[in-house]
Structure 1
Amino acid sequence: MPSTVFDSLLFRDMFGTEAMRAIFTDEALVGRYLEAEAALARAQAKIGAIPVEAGPAIDAASKHIAIDFDRLRHETEIVGYPILPLVHQLSEAAGDFGGFVHWGATTQDIMDTANVLQIRSALDIVDADIEALRGILVGLAKQYRDTPMAGRTHLQQALPCTFGYKCAVWLSSIDRHAERLSTLRDRVLFGEFSGAAGTLASIGRGGLEMQAAYCEELNLAQPPITWHVARDGIAEVVTFLGLVTGSLAKIATDVMLMMATEFGEVSEPFVPGRGASSTMPQKRNPISCELILAAAKSVRQQVATMLDGMIHDFERATGPWHLEWIAIPESFILTASALANARYMLDGLVVHEKRMRENLDLTSGLIVAEAVMMHAAPRLGRQHAHDIVYNACREAIEGGGKLADILKKNEEVSQALGGEEAIDAACDPTNYLGLCGEMVDRVVAGR
């Protein structure tokens, strides 16, 4: 039976998605190896490096071969890599042309290229999820553009903002990830065909042309030089996933805290039984947020692994490369989980506007103390206005009562603001939302 959450019948759809898992199955990986070998043979046949008939023959064999996975596993354990054992089976399947399989290549050429093919497909899924998430957040930002709520710093009420503003802040980070992804592909999606030490010595003259033809067959870019031990591109991919899941975890943290009983400002979508407790019938736990946070924490560990894995020795490494076999699939599968949960959670998010307003009034005006100070400052001077309002806030905190009522008793403030009605206006949180609306408009402009 499966032994990890990625394959578990119980947990696999909580810590991944079927579409992303499919990219990283053993069958899919071996399929990518075969795709790379077939592309190499086609390219070499076209330029006359191997018999013209060998290319189609090896290509056909790669598509129709029935892989003996038990044999492949056994031989891989002996060799330490799967390519030589796979070449044995593909060569047998190619018959008379089997001797031209893997011509001039080295194991890492095929494995690196296969991983890039997997990464390309996986990034397509991430891209689609990011675009869907952007659309959801745009809708929330627009819908709640002017919905007032308490802004908080250091877990304390600070100044009023709007829920649409909060959603637009979330959206801005996801927008930047979309930009990063659009440029990342150009730095990562390279084929690899360089031979044992990366010098193409096995091919010699015409090797770069062969490399170009090979990459063209796979619709991958030709690298300027061998990247066997220059792993910054692969490390960037996983680091990018760390950034994406980090932003999702920030959103999840906000939503999770806002779901707390004492806040009660939002709720995850309701599905009977979701987030239920085995003993407390009233519970409605933030399950999607919790899964996003778990995925993000796990991806962050893989980011560190990949940065460490960049340190390769000489022209072919003695072990750091193997870390990628662990980190790349797990990072993508976990990221897919985080994105799927974020899409589900935000698309059905229940926003409790009344509770937001109640919480905004919780401090009886203290949340707009800065507003009163700034209104009084032109007449009283900033520091003197600060001291007066500070003392009024302390009186409200220690003795209770509304800040506006306490300020009305202060003749200096009353004169500076222009009377009791002006004090009431200055103490209304909805009158001190700053440029929330305009900022939302800037983020969602054109969408």
Structure 2
Amino acid sequence: MIERYSRPEMARIFSEEGKYARWLEVELAVCEVHAERGLIPPAALAAIRAKAAVDLARIAEIEERVRHDVIAFTTALAEKIGPDSRYVHYGLTSSDVLDTALALQIRDAGVILAEGVEHLRRVLVRRAREFQHAPCIGRTHGVHAEPTTFGLKLLVFAEEMRRQGERLARAIEGAAVGKISGAVGTFAHLPPAVEEAVCARLGIGFEPAATQVVQRDRHAAFIGALALAASSCEKIAVELRHLARTEVREVQEEFGAGQKGSSAMPHKRNPWRLENVSGLARVLRGYAAVALENQALWHERDISNSSVERV
């Protein structure tokens, strides 16, 4: 993730540490379910829990040789665990781990996103009440129309963010779904009850019918909901950017003590935060288009979606 535009709490979820920690969480959940079903001895499970650990440097070293990230991960785990590692990854294919861990990332990131949307909605409601009697000119086609209030402008935005929050919540629930159904989704090595138990233990949904992967219409809907929410944020930003123009000057973006607006023009007070919102909304709409392209994979799966999802 680009540090300049990443919140630390979000960056941690999608960091290498965050990714591998969730891979390990999935592997351990599967082992625990296997133990409950009598497939792993209690002593072996205890040893796995005690010794399993992520070693980023060692995983990278192994991957350089084997050219496969999940094999590198499980090999590094086996070195940590020892003989009882033979029970780890039992009955799984790589995508069982990858997609189920991705569901955990979506769930955890979704909490932050939902909180952000709700925070914006609450702020808009508060400021709408504050300015409910503040008159301003309404504009249609960019031309003066009839008087309105600044509070009504903000209330319209608040209601839109309420709808976006509801859409986002549905999309997060739909995308936070795992699968433990094997190489082509046939449960050839493990019964469906294992998938349901593992996903329940992890606090996510499960894919009722899968190929080798969780179906990407779920992820397209999630990214689409993000793009919609971002477009609403841009709608707010564009309105405020216009109102901040010198010849309008109905609003101004916060300007801190010591802040500078230009290396050549010290009088400048630019709405740069609002401009960033507009720019980043465009990025998310681009991601939405790519997420739609990721739906049509060959047969039971190819990896044309994989490189895209790693960006």
Shared fold per TM-score greater than 0.5: yes
1:214 maps to 2:210: no
Paired residue for 1:201? Answer: 188
Conserved in 1, the CA contact under 8 Å of 2:260 and 2:266?
no
**Is contact 1:152–1:158 with CA below 8 Å preserved after alignment?**
yes
Offset of 1:40 from its aligned partner?
0.8
Q: Distance in 1 between matches of 2:259 and 2:51?
A: 49
> What's the offset of the Cα at 1:96?
2.2
TM-score by length of 1: 0.66
**RMSD between superposed Cα atoms in Å:** 1.7
Distance (Å, rounded) in 2 between the aligned partners of 1:26 and 1:225: 29
Matched, 1:137 2:124: yes
From 183, 190, 199, the counterpart of 2:177: 190
Cα deviation 1:328-359 (Å, max 9, x = unaligned):
xxxxxxxxxxxxxxxxxxxxxxxxxxxxxxxx
Per the alignment, in what secondary structure is the counterpart of residue 145 of structure 2?
Answer: strand
Q: What corresponds to 2:264 in structure 1?
A: 279
- Pairing partner for 2:39 from 44, 49, 60: 49
CA distance in 2, matches of 1:139, 1:59: 49
Aligned partners of 1:77, 1:150: CA distance in 2, in Å?
63
Q: Return closer, same or farther for 1:73/1:155 CA change in 2, 3 Å cut-off.
A: same
Q: Bigger CA drift: 273-282 or 294-303?
A: 273-282
Q: Once the 2 structures are TM-superposed, how far is the Cα of residue 101 of structure 1 from its aligned partner?
A: 0.7
What is the DSSP-based 3-state SS (H/G/I as helix, E as strand, rest coil) of the residue aligned with 1:212? helix
Note the C-alpha offset of 1:66: 4.9
The runs of 5 or more residues in structure 1 that have no matched partner are: 327-447
Relative to the length of structure 2, the TM-score reads: 0.94
Distance 1:322-1:89 versus aligned 2 partners, 3 A rule: same
In the other structure, the counterpart of 1:112 is 99
Count of equivalent residues? 310
CA contact (8 A) 1:274 1:287 kept: no
Match of 2:148, SS state, is: strand
Is 1:38 aligned to residue 28 of structure 2? Answer: yes
Measured after TM superposition, the shift of residue 318 of structure 1 is 3.5
Q: 2:278 maps to which residue?
A: 293
2:284 is the counterpart of 1:324: no
Q: Percent identity?
A: 34
Match of 2:166? 179
Match in the other structure for 1:259 = 244
Deviations 1:238-265 (A, max 9, x none): 1111011100011011111100001000
Q: What amino acid is the match of 1:294? A: G
Matched with 1:24 is: 14
Q: Partners of 1:82 and 1:124 in 2: how far apart? A: 28
For residue 325 of structure 1, report the CA deviation from its aligned partner. Answer: 1.9
Secondary structure of the residue aligned to 1:149 is strand
Question: Any stretches of 5+ residues in structure 2 without a counterpart?
Answer: none
